[in-house]
Chains A and B, each alone.
Chain A
Amino acid sequence: MTEQIQANEEQEFSRFELWKEDLKPHIKEFKYSLHLLKQNPLVITGIVITLFYVFIAIFAPWIAPYDPELIDLSNRNLPPLTNGHLFGTDNYGMDIFSRVIWGTRVDFGMALIVVLVTATFGTILGASSGYLGGKYDELIMRITDIFFAFPGLILAMAIVTVIGRSLQNIMFALMFVWWPGYTRLIRAQALAEREKLYVEAARSVGASDLRIIFKHIIPNSIQPLIVAATMDLGGVLLTAAGLSFIGFGAEAGAPEWGWMIAAGQQYFLQYPWEVLFPGLAIFFAVLAFNLMGDGMRDIMDPRLRR
Chain B
Amino acid sequence: MIVKVRDYIIRRIILSIPVILGALFITFFLSHVIGNPAAAYVTERTPPEAIPAIIHQHGLDRPIWEQFFFYLRDVITGDWGYSMAVHMDVTAAIATFFPATFELAMAAMVFSVGLGIPLGIVSATHKDQWIDQLTRIIALSGVSLPVFWLALMLKYIFYYKFWQWGLPYLPNVGRVDHLVEILYPIKRITGLYLFDSLIQGNFVFFWSALIHLIMPAFCLGYISMALITRMMRSSMLEVLKEDYILLARAKGLSERVVIYRHALRNALIPTVTVIGLAFGGLMTGAVLTETIFAWHGLGQWSTAAILTTDFAAINGFTLLVAFIFVIMNLLVDLLYGILDPRIRYS
Q: Which residues of A come within 8 Å of B, CB atoms?
A: 142-143, 145-146, 148-155, 157-163, 165, 234, 238, 241-242, 245-248, 258, 261, 265, 268-269, 272, 275-276, 278-279, 282-283, 286-287, 290-291, 294
Report whether B156 and A268 are in contact in the complex, using a CB–CB cutoff of 8 Å.
yes
| Contact flags B178-192 to A (C-beta < 8 A → 1, else 0) | 000000000000000
Is B141's CB within 8 Å of the partner chain A? yes
Instruction: Please determine whether A275 and B152 come into contact, CB atoms closer than 8 angstroms.
Output: yes
Most buried by A among B143, B288, B309, B329: B143
- In contact, B325 and A158 (Cβ under 8 angstroms): no
Question: Given A149-B326, A151-B284 in contact, is the A158-B314 Cβ separation under 8 Å?
Answer: yes
Q: How far is the CA of A238 from the CA of B152 in the complex (A)?
A: 16
Q: How far is the CB of B193 from chain A (nearest CB, A)?
A: 25
**Residues A162 and B30 in contact, CB atoms below 8 Å apart:** yes
Given that A149-B23, A155-B318, A268-B156 are known contacts, is A161 also in contact with B284, CB under 8 Å in the complex? no
B95 at the interface (CB under 8 A from A): no
B22 touches A158 (CB 8 A): no
Contact assessment for B287 and A153 in the assembled complex, using a CB-CB cutoff below 8 Å: yes
Given contacts A157-B302, A275-B149, contact A150 B144 (CB under 8 A): no
Contacts from B to A (Cβ < 8 Å): 18-20, 22-23, 25-27, 30-31, 34-35, 140-141, 143-149, 152-153, 155-156, 160, 280-281, 283-284, 287-288, 291-292, 302-303, 305-307, 309, 311, 314-315, 317-318, 321-322, 325-326, 329
Q: How far is the CB of B223 from chain A (nearest CB, A)?
A: 10
Using Cβ atoms and an 8 Å threshold, which residues of chain B touch A261?
A: 146, 148-149, 152
CB–CB A247/B307 < 8 A: yes
List 13 extra interface pairs beyond A151-B283, A158-B30, A269-B155, CB under 8 A.
A142-B22, A145-B19, A146-B19, A146-B25, A146-B26, A150-B321, A152-B284, A154-B317, A162-B34, A247-B303, A247-B307, A269-B160, A282-B146
Given known contacts A154-B287, A247-B306, A290-B140, A149 and B148 CB-to-CB distance under 8 angstroms: no
Decide yes or no: A161 and B309 within 8 Å by CB, A146-B23, A146-B25, A242-B147 being known contacts. yes
Q: Are A145 and B149 neighbours in the complex by a CB distance under 8 Å?
A: no
